[in-house]
Structure 1
Amino acid sequence: FSMAASTWPRPGAPNHLRGFFFQRRQGKIDWRKLGRVNLHALVAQVNVEVLNDNVDHVTFADITEDDISSMNAETTLKLIRLMQLIIEYLLNMQNHLLALGDAGKQREEKWA
């Protein structure tokens, strides 16, 4: 499976997707940086700075079969859990932004 850059936006794509495309994966995961992540502390402290600090190298790395086969179960689990926390945080932010948009629409309707 090759993660070549996508050809979005396609004609007729919804407005919110017009500028979006999947980027080419490049570089490697920073395994040392990943190793320094303390998932228990991250969760206990809701330390989104750690998530922000790791999102780029996790998201855009070109992870190969060789990378996966050389990882032990503990490292694999840590990477998956970090990815889950990043996704959870991004979903929370998406919901927050949607709520802000809804509140703005309600204010506009009230004053219209």
Structure 2
Amino acid sequence: MNYLYLNNVTQQPITHSYVFNKRNEKIDWRRIAAVDVERIARELDFQVLQDNIEHIALCNIDMEIDTRAMDPNFVKLYKMAQLIIEYLLLCQDQISSQLVDYEQIKSKTFQDHEESRREMEKLKNDLNTTKKESKKRKKMIETLQKMLTNQQPAHHTCPICAHSFLSVDYLQAHIHRRHPEYGSGGRREHDVDMEKENQRIKDELRTKETELQLIKVQKVCEMNIFFF
């Protein structure tokens, strides 16, 4: 198993920023005597280990026992174990700090995601609204085009046979040719003139009505564009 602790690339290496603590704690021999090592291993009693870390890891073993009467390698082993414990505690602190940073990054990422989701939802709603307004405008334009297409040119109707002509000149020529009896005599000519005038007024009224309808449609289109 590889227990090598890898630093964050953005952090300064441990060897450049950390100094091991001085060994000035005293071992609590009574507490050590009360510890059942086999029970700790069997029941995974981590709290007992936590309670004994400080005085074991930071004690001065040379002051606690007569190291001259012991195997030098055993003393060296104990001191290395102390350094390893302190190193692991440092790793624990740095991992905890990194977890806090990661939680902040996670929270920020979640907020950005929610903001993007809300923005996408808003754009989607705006797009749907735009499509609806586009359909309305398309229908209005189609209605306007139909009205313009269906607008009939002014006709001049013969007062005698009800034939229609595009101009007054054509109507007069028709009357003189087809209805010569109405072309002579002041009274008949007067009647024809009256009919022509009535027809002109009707044509003007029809034209004005068509123009008024077109103006109404244009106003509706402008109001919809303004409110959109």
Normalised by the length of structure 1, the TM-score is 0.49
Higher relative contact order (CA 8 A, sep 6+): 1
Larger Rg: 2
